[in-house]
């Protein structure tokens, strides 16, 4: 069975948005941009109500999508994410669009509920949670390799808690600047886009943004590793 990563996003505070239609257009545009270059089997798309979905081949790509989106969204707009690892299968079609089901989607739903619960418990900055399918992992790599699936899940969510808090504490322009860099822009290109000097971008990249950039580098390495393992099979 091929393991994929289902991503569910919903709008934080959707009922309080003064111009819901405009906000929807921004969410769609930012998600599309955030998915560029990640080779997603299913790019982000709007579903019903205030929800969006996507599918990634690897955890690195899924989490990079969520981080890029958080950084690029305007300060007044925010999304909550749930990522589930498991099976994604097509069960039909509606108006020519494939309808998907599977354990990845069930776990993504559980993950986003966990993110919502964390916010309700007072951790307002939490935006992302992941759930890993231990049984699917055992089918793929064997019981010895996946015996710590729950531990890896807890470690991932601990990292995401710190990551989300860091992003939420950043001001809007520094967030956008780091977002530009994570999208592959040079420091000069990011500076021009935001109307600041290259030295200001460099200082940000070496200072408060350094942790996020290093996290992105590690996630990219994870994604490359997953692709390499698939290619060798």
Q: pLDDT digit of tens for each residue in the chain (233 aa)?
A: 788 999 999 999 888 899 999 999 999 999 999 999 999 999 999 988 789 999 999 888 999 999 999 999 998 899 999 999 988 887 666 666 667 778 899 999 999 999 999 999 999 999 999 998 655 444 444 444 444 667 778 888 888 998 999 999 999 999 999 999 999 999 999 999 999 999 999 999 999 899 888 876 775 565 444 444 443 34
| 3-state SS, residue 74 | coil
Side-chain-side CA neighbours of 188 within 13 Å: the count stands at 0
| pLDDT (0 to 100) of residue 62 | 93
Range of the domain at 52: 4-170
Instruction: Evaluate whether residue 21 is within a structural domain.
Output: yes
In whole angstroms, give the CA distance from residue 63 to residue 68.
9
Instruction: Evaluate whether residue 224 is within a structural domain.
Output: no
Instruction: Evaluate whether residue 211 is within a structural domain.
Output: no
- For the domain that residue 69 is a member of, what is the CATH number? 3.30.70.270
Instruction: Evaluate whether residue 29 is within a structural domain.
Output: yes
Instruction: Evaluate whether residue 196 is within a structural domain.
Output: no
Instruction: Evaluate whether residue 225 is within a structural domain.
Output: no
Q: Which two tokens stand for residue 9?
A: 């996003």
Count of domains for the chain: 1
**In Å, how far are 145, 156, 218 from 224, measured between CA atoms?**
19, 18, 10
| pLDDT (0 to 100) of residue 213 | 82
Instruction: Evaluate whether residue 232 is within a structural domain.
Output: no
Instruction: Evaluate whether residue 17 is within a structural domain.
Output: yes
């Amino acid at each position: 069975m091929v393991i994929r990563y289902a991503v569910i996003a919903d709008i934080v505070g959707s009922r309080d948005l003064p111009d819901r239609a405009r906000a929807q257009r921004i969410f769609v545009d930012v998600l599309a941009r955030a998915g560029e270059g990640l080779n997603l089997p299913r790019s982000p798309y709007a579903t019903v109500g205030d929800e969006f979905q996507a599918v990634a081949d690897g955890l690195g790509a899924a989490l990079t999508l969520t981080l890029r989106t958080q950084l690029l969204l305007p300060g007044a707009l925010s999304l909550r994410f749930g990522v589930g690892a498991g099976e994604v299968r097509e069960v039909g079609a509606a108006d020519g669009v494939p309808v998907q089901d599977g354990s990845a989607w069930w776990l993504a739903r559980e993950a986003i509920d966990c993110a919502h619960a964390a916010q309700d418990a007072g951790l307002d900055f939490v935006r992302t949670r992941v759930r890993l399918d231990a049984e699917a992992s055992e089918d793929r790599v064997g019981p010895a390799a996946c015996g710590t699936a729950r531990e890896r899940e807890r470690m991932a969510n601990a990292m995401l808690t710190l990551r989300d808090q860091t992003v939420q504490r950043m001001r809007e322009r520094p967030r956008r600047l780091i977002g530009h860099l994570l999208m592959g822009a040079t420091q000069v290109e990011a500076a021009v886009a935001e109307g600041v000097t290259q030295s200001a971008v460099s200082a940000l990249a070496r200072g408060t943004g350094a942790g996020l950039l290093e996290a992105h580098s590690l996630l990219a390495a994870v994604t490359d590793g997953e692709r390499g393992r698939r290619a060798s099979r």
